[in-house]
């Protein structure tokens, strides 16, 4: 009882802005829910395009997250642990996609790996491979925009982790790779998980870079945000329904994962 | 078959330049105040920190030599115990102890059984499945010792291994550590700022102050004949440097001390606080070493009171709580301090 | 919201009533909501109106017609609305926001845009059925996409686009970057894209001529200036400016 009371006591200077902030974040969502055409929600959802857009969104955001983990965690390690020169420049470069308007990011991707891009032209001319307007392009665009979120989270976790555990591992015969695998990574796992969630959420909501670089074609490149945007041109109510679906699915996924993590960490 | 090291490190205000050798089966304690460079020295010996100069050789193999050799920590045969155990929180106690074997390619089952064997030896039977967070401080430090020793290292490094423990646990863990160190066949280096650890565990003590070795010897030698104020204070002596002529020593700081034996030249005079007596009136009779002093501080110390005294000869006196009360002493009081010449230790500087 | 706006309009009327009747002296601020494709022409016409009325400040909000229509129905204050199609104008008139009936001031037709040099050797609408070409059209939800679908249906072409773009500018950008071999856009877009893009007119386009209606708004804070702007757009000078930008006169 005593503990519950102590935990419940939020100081007023924190409580008031917190409540205002929550209201600010939740009210627009409430607006969507209130304005949703609940009677027509069934037929709206039954549309084949909704299902394929949702599947594509979940698939590409998940793949983008996996890619971001494979590439982003090593980047974070280099930024947090290595002593190579120019790390601050590197960090700035890596976070550029955060400040770049996503549409510009999409154009930049064209210039790099589009059909006439620096890398894309030889790829196209010699191998006949084109990336734009494919599901690959969706994953690439989402990875480009979302990976910095993961890198920043993981780098923060690495900096906060006690590096002396790595010293201890070294004295126990672990080289840096073994140390990373068996000590560092498990220690920063919560940070990596948080980063992955952030990355996934960002990838799921990605619009600008995707519609620019991957285009919009139902079934191959039309993700939910694209479907929502186009629905908004024609039928704002349909757009609200689609938004709610995206919202419900992403919230549901995150809560499910969170439960699994929590139960694992308490049992383990 | 020894550790031989000359370590030079420049880090900000720290200028470390230390020579050491440790024989097989020998435990060397590096004793020094905080900031003296002890931990830096240990990190260099472990291979975790490249020094700025010098050479480190283990059993004749050079593991570090400026520009010629640098064997990283993970390729050295060593075990290290840290002040706050640093057991990996995500692994069980057994997995922690087995870690060094696993990285050296020992099969899982074999590594686990060796680890459990060591947990047995350090008195942690049945705790192998726990997480480090579920161990007490003493248990964790025992597990950390097992983790360091399970690989039979040639060099064992102990960085303040007992200082994070509470006084009672420290006592028992110290006794166990002493037993394990006695059985340990390789070279061991113990870093501590606690003279009791050094005295209890080490065969030889090196005192490091401000990056330099200021004294080296057996624990008994160091305890009996400290050569710096720091060591003197640690071992509970008051150190008074001076110049001896016959049976009297003219102190560098002023004043004269009568001593029991004839000697000449620069000397240290060491006075045990328990041998200093305090009087309200100037004592008459035999004692020759009598000085007027002022009581500047009094701290209870068990059944005694430690009195810091200022005057021509700065001293510390331990008086019983009873006599302290009977004398009616309070800081600021003017008293007379006396020491028998026979109770004063004198040795050359 | 509405009463406040009306009050604002009444005040504006009262404030400039004296000068409104005296010819060239429009004052205050004029806010024009116009389809993005009109950016260059209307900018030019706005400058001209400001030159004729030194005390007048003309402000534009260029965006997709549907976005503008949504903003207007949500109560955005504006004097003039120029739409790139009848549908979005209807959204506004259905809400009763117009001050007078809309007038069609110009037309636009579809054209095939190809990158400079026409690398895909596109010749006509039938090439949009070639699966080996990289092709962009607008999504059916936006006006240029609806027009494209109608044109394809009329011509009996089963188009196989690689992407359905969210607006005509996005489709054009992909042509400019050389990422698609052809896109179906408006003639004015080709005109405005410069030398990176070549236009290929096609006869089937004539069946889907796109009207551009304009009207003054009932809640206009500056109705006198609003009328002056609409008059300018419909004048000979306005038509000449539109023609120079690739628009056709009705």
Q: Does A160 touch chain B (CB under 8 A)?
A: no
N-terminal to C-terminal alpha carbon distance within chain A:
27
pLDDT bin (cut points 50, 70, 90) of residue C63 is confident
The shortest C-alpha distance from A44 to chain B (Å) reads 48
Q: Does C174 touch chain A (CB under 8 A)?
A: yes
Contact predicate B118/B149, CB 8 Å: yes
Residue C66, CA atoms < 13 Å, CB-side half-sphere: 15
Contact predicate B206/B213, CB 8 Å: yes
Q: Please give, one letter per residue, the 3-state secondary structure of A22-83.
A: HHHHHHHHHHHHHHCCHHHHHHHHHCHHHHHHHHHHHHHHHHHHHHHHHHHHHHHHHHHHCC
What residues of C are in contact with residue A226 (Cβ under 8 Å)?
Answer: 166
Judge: C166–A116 Cβ closer than 8 Å, yes or no: no
Structure tokens given for A79: 């930024």
Judge: A133–C66 Cβ closer than 8 Å, yes or no: no
Alpha helices in chain A (DSSP H): 2-8, 12-35, 41-46, 48-81, 87-94, 96-99, 102-113, 120-127, 135-160, 164-171, 176-179, 185-187, 189-205, 208-213, 224-234, 236-267
Judge: B103–A186 Cβ closer than 8 Å, yes or no: no
The shortest C-alpha distance from A101 to chain C (Å) reads 15
Judge: A168–B90 Cβ closer than 8 Å, yes or no: no
Q: What is the mean pLDDT of residues B34-50?
A: 90
Q: What angle do CA C165, C169, C172 make, to 5 degrees?
A: 80
The whole-angstrom separation of Cα A173 and Cα A81 is: 19
The whole-angstrom separation of Cα C70 and Cα C68 is: 5
pLDDT bin (cut points 50, 70, 90) of residue C18 is very low
Which DSSP string do the residues of C93-108 spell out, in sequence order? HHTT-BSS--EEEEEE
Judge: B47–A186 Cβ closer than 8 Å, yes or no: no
What residues of B are in contact with residue A164 (Cβ under 8 Å)?
Answer: 82, 86
Nearest C-alpha neighbor of C108 from the set C192, C174, C196 = C192
Judge: A215–C162 Cβ closer than 8 Å, yes or no: yes
The whole-angstrom separation of Cα A151 and Cα A146 is: 9
Judge: A110–C177 Cβ closer than 8 Å, yes or no: yes
What residues of A are in contact with residue B75 (Cβ under 8 Å)?
Answer: 173
Q: What is the mean pLDDT of residues C21-47?
A: 84
Rg (CA), chain C: 20
Across B47-125, the runs of DSSP E, i.e. the strands, are 53-58, 61-65, 69-70, 78-81
Contact predicate B42/B215, CB 8 Å: no
Please check the confidence at residue C9 and state whether its pLDDT lies above 50.
no
Structure tokens given for A77: 């390690």
In whole angstroms, what separates CA C164 from the centre of its chain?
20
Alpha-carbon distances, residue B170 vs B119, B184, C107, C147 (angstroms): 19, 20, 92, 86
The whole-angstrom separation of Cα B346 and Cα B226 is: 11
Q: What percent of chain A has pLDDT over 90?
A: 59
pLDDT bin (cut points 50, 70, 90) of residue B304 is confident
Q: Does A163 touch chain B (CB under 8 A)?
A: no
Q: Does B120 touch chain A (CB under 8 A)?
A: no
Query: What are C177-200's pLDDT values in tens digits?
Result: 899 999 999 888 898 888 889 999
Query: What are C218-238's pLDDT values in tens digits?
Result: 999 999 999 999 999 999 999
Which residue from C64, C142, C163 is facing A215, i.e. has the nearest CB? C163
- Superfamily for domain range B2-228: P-loop containing nucleotide triphosphate hydrolases (3.40.50.300)
Evaluate whether residue A240 is within a structural domain.
Answer: yes
Q: Does A264 touch chain B (CB under 8 A)?
A: no
Residue A10 gets the label, from left (phi > 0), alpha (psi -120 to 50) or beta, of beta
The whole-angstrom separation of Cα C87 and Cα B313 is: 105
Q: Does B108 touch chain A (CB under 8 A)?
A: no
- Domain positions in chain C are 2-107+212-244, 110-208
Collapse the DSSP code of A86 into the 3-class scheme (helix H, G, I; strand E, B; otherwise coil) and give the result: coil
Evaluate whether residue A69 is within a structural domain.
Answer: yes
Judge: C166–A216 Cβ closer than 8 Å, yes or no: yes
Q: Domain range holding A211? A: 49-267
pLDDT at A232: 80
Judge: A186–B88 Cβ closer than 8 Å, yes or no: yes
Q: Does A164 touch chain B (CB under 8 A)?
A: yes
What residues of A are in contact with residue B43 (Cβ under 8 Å)?
Answer: 167
Q: Do chains B and C touch (3 or more CB pairs under 8 A)?
A: no
Nearest CA in chain C to A236: C70
The shortest C-alpha distance from A85 to chain B (Å) reads 18
What residues of C are in contact with residue A133 (Cβ under 8 Å)?
Answer: 134, 162-163, 179-180
What residues of A are in contact with residue C178 (Cβ under 8 Å)?
Answer: 114-116
Q: Mark which residues 205-234 of A lie under 8 Å from B by CB.
A: none
Nearest C-alpha neighbor of A224 from the set A210, A242, A237 = A242
The whole-angstrom separation of Cα B267 and Cα B246 is: 12
Collapse the DSSP code of B208 into the 3-class scheme (helix H, G, I; strand E, B; otherwise coil) and give the result: strand
pLDDT at C20: 34
Range name among C21-30, C173-182, C201-210 with the lowest pLDDT average:
C21-30
Query: What are A163-211's pLDDT values in tens digits?
Result: 999 999 999 999 999 999 999 999 999 999 999 999 999 999 999 999 9
The answer to whether the Cα torsion of A56, A62, A65, A71 is positive or negative is negative
Please check the confidence at residue C87 and state whether its pLDDT lies above 70.
yes
| Phi, psi (degrees; rounded to nearest 5) at C48 | -65, -45
Collapse the DSSP code of B217 into the 3-class scheme (helix H, G, I; strand E, B; otherwise coil) and give the result: strand
Here the CATH number for the domain that contains residue A135 is 1.10.3720.10
The whole-angstrom separation of Cα C120 and Cα C187 is: 19
Helix, strand, coil percentages, rounded to 5, for chain B? 30, 40, 30
Please check the confidence at residue B139 and state whether its pLDDT lies above 90.
yes
Judge: A164–B147 Cβ closer than 8 Å, yes or no: no
Structure tokens given for B35: 């900031």
Contacts of C188 (CB under 8 A, 6+ apart): C37, C108, C245, C246, C247
Which residue from B47, B75, B82 is facing A168, i.e. has the nearest CB? B82
Evaluate whether residue A19 is within a structural domain.
Answer: no
Q: Which chains does chain B touch, 3 or more C-beta pairs < 8 A?
A: A
Instruction: Say what the ipTM of the complex is.
Output: 0.83
Contacts of C104 (CB under 8 A, 6+ apart): C211, C212, C213, C250
Please check the confidence at residue B34 and state whether its pLDDT lies above 70.
yes
What residues of A are in contact with residue B146 (Cβ under 8 Å)?
Answer: none
Q: Does C178 touch chain A (CB under 8 A)?
A: yes
Digit-by-digit pLDDT tens for chain A (268 residues) are 444 455 568 899 999 999 999 999 999 889 888 888 888 788 877 777 888 999 999 999 999 999 999 999 999 999 999 888 889 999 999 988 989 999 999 999 999 999 888 998 998 889 888 899 999 999 999 999 999 999 999 999 999 999 999 999 999 999 999 999 999 999 999 999 999 999 999 999 999 999 999 999 988 999 999 999 888 877 778 888 888 888 888 888 888 877 766 555 443 3
The shortest C-alpha distance from B17 to chain A (Å) reads 23
Domain count, chain A: 1
- Superfamily for domain range C110-208: Periplasmic binding protein-like II (3.40.190.10)
The reply to whether CATH 3.40.190.10 applies to domain C2-107+212-244 is yes
Contact predicate C207/C154, CB 8 Å: yes
The shortest C-alpha distance from A205 to chain C (Å) reads 16
- Domain positions in chain B are 2-228, 238-348
Which DSSP string do the residues of B167-186 spell out, in sequence order? HHHHHHHHHHHHHHHHH--S
Evaluate whether residue A22 is within a structural domain.
Answer: no
Query: What are B69-117's pLDDT values in tens digits?
Result: 889 999 999 999 999 999 999 999 999 999 999 999 999 999 999 999 9
Please check the confidence at residue B28 and state whether its pLDDT lies above 90.
yes
The whole-angstrom separation of Cα C172 and Cα C190 is: 8
Which residue from A175, A186, A189 is facing B74, i.e. has the nearest CB? A175
Other C-beta atoms lying within 10 Å of the C-beta of residue C50: 15
The whole-angstrom separation of Cα B222 and Cα B224 is: 5
Structure tokens given for C18: 């004296």
Q: What is the CATH number of domain B238-348?
A: 2.40.50.100
Q: Structure pTM?
A: 0.79
What residues of A are in contact with residue C66 (Cβ under 8 Å)?
Answer: 232-234
Collapse the DSSP code of B189 into the 3-class scheme (helix H, G, I; strand E, B; otherwise coil) and give the result: strand
Which residue from A170, A183, A186 is facing B73, i.e. has the nearest CB? A170
Which helix (H) or strand (E) segment holds residue B43: the answer is helix B38-46
Contact predicate B30/B7, CB 8 Å: no
């Amino acid at each position: 009882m005593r503990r519950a009371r102590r935990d419940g006591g939020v100081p007023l200077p924190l409580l008031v802005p917190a409540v205002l902030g929550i209201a600010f974040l939740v009210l627009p969502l409430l607006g969507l829910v209130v304005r949703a055409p609940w009677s027509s929600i069934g037929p709206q959802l039954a549309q084949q395009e909704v299902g394929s857009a949702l599947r594509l969104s979940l698939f590409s955001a998940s793949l983008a997250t996996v890619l971001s983990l494979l590439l982003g965690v090593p980047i974070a390690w280099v930024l947090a642990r290595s002593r190579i020169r120019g790390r601050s420049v590197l960090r700035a470069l890596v976070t550029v996609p955060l400040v770049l308007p996503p549409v510009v990011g999409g154009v930049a991707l064209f210039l790099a790996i589009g059909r006439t891009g620096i890398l894309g032209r030889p790829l196209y001319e010699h191998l006949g491979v084109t990336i734009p307007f494919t599901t690959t392009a969706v994953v690439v665009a989402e990875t480009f925009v979302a990976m910095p979120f993961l890198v920043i989270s993981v780098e923060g976790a690495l900096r906060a982790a006690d590096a002396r555990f790595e010293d201890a591992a070294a004295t126990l015969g672990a080289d840096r790779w073994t140390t990373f695998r068996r000590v560092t990574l498990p220690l920063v796992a919560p940070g990596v998980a948080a980063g992955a969630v952030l990355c996934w959420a960002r990838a799921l909501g990605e619009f600008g870079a995707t519609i620019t670089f991957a285009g919009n074609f139902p079934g191959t490149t039309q993700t939910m945000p694209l479907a929502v945007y186009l629905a908004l041109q024609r039928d704002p109510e349909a757009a609200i329904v689609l938004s709610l679906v995206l919202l419900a699915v992403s919230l549901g996924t995150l809560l499910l994962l969170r439960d699994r993590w929590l139960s694992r960490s308490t049992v383990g | 078959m020894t550790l031989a090291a000359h370590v030079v490190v420049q880090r900000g205000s720290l200028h470390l330049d230390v020579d050491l050798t440790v024989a097989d089966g020998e435990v060397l304690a590096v004793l020094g105040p905080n900031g003296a460079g002890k931990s830096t020295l240990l990190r260099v010996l472990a291979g975790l920190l490249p020094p700025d100069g010098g050479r480190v050789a283990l059993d004749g193999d050079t593991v570090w030599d400026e520009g010629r050799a640098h064997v990283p920590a993970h390729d050295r045969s060593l075990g290290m115990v840290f002040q706050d155990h640093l057991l990996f929180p995500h692994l069980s106690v057994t997995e922690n102890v087995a870690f060094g074997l696993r990285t050296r390619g020992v099969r899982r089952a074999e590594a686990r059984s060796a680890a459990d064997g060591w947990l047995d030896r350090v008195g942690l039977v049945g705790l192998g499945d726990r997480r480090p967070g579920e161990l007490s401080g003493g248990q964790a430090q025992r597990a950390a010792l097992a983790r360091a020793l399970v690989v039979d290292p040639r060099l064992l490094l102990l960085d303040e291994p007992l200082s994070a423990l509470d006084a009672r646990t420290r006592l028992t863990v110290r006794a166990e550590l002493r037993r394990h160190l006695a059985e340990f066949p390789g070279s061991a280096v113990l870093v501590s700022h606690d003279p009791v650890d050094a005295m209890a565990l080490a065969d030889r003590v090196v005192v490091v102050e401000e990056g330099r070795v200021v004294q080296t010897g057996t624990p008994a030698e160091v305890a009996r004949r400290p050569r710096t104020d720091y060591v003197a204070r640690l071992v509970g002596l008051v150190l008074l440097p001076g110049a001896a002529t016959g049976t009297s020593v003219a102190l560098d700081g002023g004043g004269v001390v009568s001593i029991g034996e004839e000697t000449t030249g620069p000397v240290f005079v060491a006075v045990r606080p328990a041998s200093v007596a305090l009087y309200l009136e100037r004592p008459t009779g035999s004692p020759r070493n009598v000085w007027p002093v002022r009581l500047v501080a009094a701290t209870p110390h068990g059944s005694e009171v430690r009195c810091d005294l200022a005057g021509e000869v700065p001293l510390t006196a331990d008086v019983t709580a009873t006599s302290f009360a009977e004398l009616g002493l309070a800081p600021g009081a003017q008293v007379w301090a006396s020491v028998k010449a026979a109770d004063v230790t004198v040795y050359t500087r | 919201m509405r009463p406040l706006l009306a009050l604002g309009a009444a005040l504006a009327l009262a404030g400039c009533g004296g000068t409104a009747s005296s010819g060239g002296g429009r004052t205050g601020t004029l806010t024009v909501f116009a389809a993005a494709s009109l950016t260059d022409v209307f900018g030019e016409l706005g400058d001209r109106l400001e030159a004729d009325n030194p005390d007048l400040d003309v402000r534009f909000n260029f965006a997709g017609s549907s976005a503008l229509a949504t903003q207007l129905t949500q109560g955005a204050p504006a004097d003039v609305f120029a739409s790139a199609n009848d549908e979005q104008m209807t959204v506004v008139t259905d809400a009763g926001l117009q001050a007078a009936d809309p007038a069609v001031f110009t037309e636009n037709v579809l054209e095939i845009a190809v990158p400079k040099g026409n690398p895909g050797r596109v010749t006509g609408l039938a090439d949009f059925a070639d699966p080996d070409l990289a092709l962009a059209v607008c999504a059916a939800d936006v006006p240029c996409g609806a027009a494209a679908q109608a044109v394809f249906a009329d011509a009996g072409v089963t188009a196989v686009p690689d992407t359905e773009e969210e607006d005509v500018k996005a489709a054009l950008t992909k042509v400019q970057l050389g990422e698609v071999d052809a896109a179906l856009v408006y003639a004015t877009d080709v005109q405005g894209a410069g030398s990176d893009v070549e236009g290929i007119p096609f006869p089937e386009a004539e069946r889907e001529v796109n009207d551009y209606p304009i009207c003054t708004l009932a809640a206009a804070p500056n109705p006198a200036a609003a009328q002056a702007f609409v008059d300018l757009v419909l004048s000979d000078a306005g038509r000449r400016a539109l023609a120079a930008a690739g628009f056709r006169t009705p």
